[in-house]
Amino acid sequence: MADAVMVPDISRTVQKWRSKPGSLIMALHEIQNRYGYVPRNVSLQLAQLMNVPLARIYEVITFYNYFRLEPPGKHNLSVCMGTACYLKGAPALLDTLKNELHVEEGETTPDGEFHLESVRCVGCCGLAPVVVANGETLAKVGVNAIGGLLARCRNEQKED
Ligand code: FES
């Protein structure tokens, strides 16, 4: 079995959301917040507990690009490609990260350390271009800062 989460218990999540509008999406949000992605065995359990076809769950997961089907990397890097960030150089940041990490958007490095993605406006356009690194919003990021950012992540990993 490939999934990292072997015996998830999502019964409380299902109970919490079952009777509310948008229950499937809310339950999926809670699951992703807990595991960092939506593991397949959790989707199977969710389908049974909510009495929803598995195909419907995957329809929702694949429709919203917020949801992930793969575990994220240890370090998650999101380059904002919203208009303000795009105009202030986000494409160059994304290209630099792709080259440095040898991954495409949406991919995780083979060692599982870095996950790279692009996102739409994260709501702080005045700080463009923005990179969100492990949940921390970095402002006015220049291409020259990418090496330092990756080094900092790698150092944190050594200190763990
Ligand atoms: S466009 Fe990047 S934060 Fe708004």
Pocket of ligand 1, candidates 122, 137, 138, 140: which has the most ligand atoms within 8 Å of its Cβ, to mutate? 122
Q: 96 and 154 share a domain? A: yes
Pocket of ligand 1, candidates 79, 85, 138, 140: which has the most ligand atoms within 8 Å of its Cβ, to mutate? 85
The pLDDT assigned to 96 comes to 98
Do the beta carbons of residue 101 and residue 141 sit within 8 Å? no
Is there a cis peptide before residue 129, judged by omega within 30 degrees of 0? yes
Q: Which amino acid is at 73?
A: G
Sheet with 136-138, edge to edge strand ranges: 114-119, 75-80, 131-133, 136-138
Q: Residue 1 falls within a domain, yes or no?
A: no
Q: Residue 70 falls within a domain, yes or no?
A: no
The pLDDT assigned to 15 comes to 85
Q: Residue 38 falls within a domain, yes or no?
A: yes
Q: Which of 63, 86, 102 is the last residue in one of the domains?
A: 63
Q: 100 and 155 share a domain? A: yes
Residues of the chain with pLDDT under 50: 1-7
Task: Specify the pTM.
Answer: 0.63
